[in-house]
Structure 1
């Protein structure tokens, strides 16, 4: 990446994924983006994590006092007409008001009270939108490392750009980081209303769940308008 805007770490994420009929997701994704499918389904991911040492490019991570805060995204997977894939965020919950500035390019950030804690072998994520009713509670127990991630593991967790829409323009934000060190995980508790608030039907079936200790070298690029399609 030639022009990173921000650097950070993305720590202790859990990736919770549900398969959905494409028709349930299509209306939440703007044209010209297409909903990507895997094994005949669209996928919606619920991902809480901690963003650490957030700083402008060039500022060392060891500098004292850099912001660290919890964030949670609800997303699906899309493809642009130019063939490149990426994320489409259905909602973004954040405990740091500074991140709300990304609304200028259409990132659907909502302020909230978020918490990530580790206790013994479990990781607990709590969040509540303020103002609003959206909330979640997730407790997972990380399992064994996944030494050889499958194609589906990578497809669900590794995307290198996010799309947003603002004032009639589609924007692209590139992202780079080292590969996720993935592990399996079992869910102890899961309650959430983010999917309903986003306009999705209630998830059905058991979710696919991955955990990661995180990545420390995340580079987020400058957001730019996408070229208009014919």
Structure 2
């Protein structure tokens, strides 16, 4: 894990961003599933994106650091915390992006802010993140008063040298995405936000999942072991403000 964080080069070229974040020690755990399982989980106006005839579900635990709004100093106690998200892959017109089914974090203030600013389905969770010399140990349990709470408890580590994914490969398709889509629950309006970072340096990953029920709330039929696992040491990112998705650029979500 000696590879370092990839900073954004020539930052002055990037204008209008609202927030910077650094994403560290990521596990990209990917499952191929039937498109029929996922279509009902994304809103009308977004098109499910597929690769090899499959929809893809990803569970991604990682550490967020360096969280800062533009022109402001880092806020004490809000700059570093673990997160785990469950996402799938969508398009609006020709613009590919990701759609988050859930995001869990241990920071209650961030949960509230992200729901308000970015209309994202954040949930509070009890978490523990430990970066040892050769592996990451990650635990998360959602704080929920309604029945069983989704849990992730596992360890992961890289097992190959880092490489840039080649365009056209599944690894590139899953990770090189620079737009997030979301929907306001109150108005049903679709929104998007652009994100920028340097290309990922990816390593094949191995993992031990002691428990993983993160896909459980969505009734997804996923295998115990992912179809593909990748590790990334991390990147610095810029996030732009949320924008309304103009109807003329929206794809049709066939149900």
Pair in the same fold by TM > 0.5: yes
1:153 corresponds, among 171, 193, 200, to: 171
The DSSP-based 3-state class of the residue aligned with 2:18 is strand
**Between Structure 1 and Structure 2, which shows a larger proportion of strand residues?**
1
Structure 1: gaps of 5 or more residues: none
Which residue in the other structure is 2:43 paired with?
A: 30
Residue 90 of structure 2 is aligned to residue 78 of structure 1: yes
TM-score scaled by length of structure 2: 0.83
User: Using a 3 Å threshold, how does the CA distance of structure 1 residues 192 and 205 change in structure 2: closer, same or farther?
Assistant: closer
Equivalents in 2 of 1:55, 1:177: separation in Å? 15
1:96 corresponds, among 88, 107, 115, to: 107
Contact kept, 8 Å, 1:196 with 1:202, in 2: the verdict is: no
Contact kept, 8 Å, 1:45 with 1:76, in 2: the verdict is: yes
TM-score scaled by length of structure 1: 0.91
Equivalents in 2 of 1:188, 1:164: separation in Å? 31
Equivalents in 1 of 2:48, 2:62: separation in Å? 24
The aligned length equals 227
1:226 is displaced (CA, Å) by: 0.7
Equivalents in 1 of 2:38, 2:165: separation in Å? 26
Equivalents in 1 of 2:17, 2:164: separation in Å? 30
Equivalents in 2 of 1:57, 1:198: separation in Å? 35
Equivalents in 2 of 1:93, 1:107: separation in Å? 10
Which residue in the other structure is 2:229 paired with?
A: 209
Which residue in the other structure is 1:122 paired with?
A: 135
Contact kept, 8 Å, 1:139 with 1:189, in 2: the verdict is: yes
Which residue in the other structure is 2:217 paired with?
A: 197
1:17-56 equivalences under 5 Å are: 17-56=30-69
Residue 237 of structure 2 is aligned to residue 218 of structure 1: yes
RMSD in angstroms over aligned alpha carbons?
2.0
Equivalents in 2 of 1:126, 1:47: separation in Å? 12
1:71 is displaced (CA, Å) by: 0.8
Contact kept, 8 Å, 2:164 with 2:200, in 1: the verdict is: no
Equivalents in 2 of 1:198, 1:99: separation in Å? 24
Which residue in the other structure is 2:71 paired with?
A: 58
User: Using a 3 Å threshold, how does the CA distance of structure 1 residues 58 and 146 change in structure 2: closer, same or farther?
Assistant: same
Structure 2: gaps of 5 or more residues: 1-13, 251-255
Equivalents in 2 of 1:193, 1:93: separation in Å? 13
1:108 is displaced (CA, Å) by: 0.4
